[in-house]
Amino acid sequence: MASSERTFVQAIRRYCAAHDIEVDVRAGGWLIAMRRDDQRRFAFGYDIGLNSAIAHRLANDKSAAAEALSLQGVPCISHHLFLNPKLGEKVVGLGWREAMLELLHDHPQGVVVKPNEGTSGRSVFKVTTAAELDHATNEVFSMSTGLVISPYVAIEDEVRVILLDDVPRIVYSKQRGSDWRHNLDAGAKPVLLADGAVRTACVKLAVDAARAIGIRFASIDVVRVDGAWKVLEINSGVMMEALSKLHPELVQATYGAALDRVFGDASPSTNPSPSPPRNG
């Protein structure tokens, strides 16, 4: 097993070795073929292959996910979609920049501009002026067919809930560093949450969000703004690279439990989920 492989790939290799499943890793680890007898399954990127196509697409589209949550009355951060003008006037329409400026005017504290699809906080901009808006828009549109604009809010806490069939496998807070974002790639530190009111509230909201779009295995980010919890994003690809450095057994057990579902195993994974520490 190459030490440079992503945790996701290593976890699948370990699971397959323990369950007599053939595994073929291709494309630098981004495509994984698994076979046991007449069962053939695939993992792609960070998608383990458990979610339906529509749930996967909704989760990966920030604007669509926010709309779907709103339809079900699930509190969430709004994400206004704008398509890349390179797609043409018939697709994008007129007045898209004026609509952006109107959103900025309506939120004098600023807005956040980011790609409609994507993870890890890349190409995310906090914008307070028209000049900053134009810069952010150009940057995002240079690599994306769509962007979303959300009101900038002072996030008091951010928690990630990793769910498998409505059961919380891992719940942790993101302790922000010097950056204004809570992304782990931006230096935030994952800290497992102990049982209590905060954990209970975050899990309930995450379960409501998962049910709203029909997703089975996902990491759901919830944030506290002005004392109220809201869904920020739903991620169909469950990435646990940073968490694995601190809690490798918990990460392996979570991927193992999901793979049990993928292969239809009636018995639980050979790597049951260990109890999280009761501090932090």
Place of tokens 């909704």: 58
Give pLDDT, residue 270.
Answer: 42
Q: CATH top-level class for 53-76+155-254?
A: alpha beta
Domain ranges of the chain: 53-76+155-254, 80-151
What is the reported pTM?
0.87
Ranges in the chain, pLDDT < 70: 1-3, 119-121, 177-178, 180-187, 266-280
pLDDT in tens, 127-162: 999 999 999 999 999 999 999 999 999 999 999 999
Dihedral (Cα; 216, 222, 227, 228), 10-degree rounding = -40
Q: Which whole-number Å values give the CA distances from 181 to 119, 126, 177, 217, 236, in the listed order?
A: 13, 10, 8, 24, 21
The pLDDT, as a whole number, for residue 234 is 96
Q: Give the pLDDT score at 96.
A: 94
What is the per-residue pLDDT for 159? Answer: 97
CATH number (3.20.20.150, 3.30.1490.20, 3.90.105.20, 2.60.40.10) of 80-151 reads 3.30.1490.20
**What are 51-83's pLDDT values in tens digits?**
999 999 999 999 999 999 999 999 999 999 999
What pLDDT is recorded for position 121? 67
Is residue 195 packed enough to be buried (19+ CB in 10 Å), middle (13-18) or exposed (0-12)? Answer: exposed
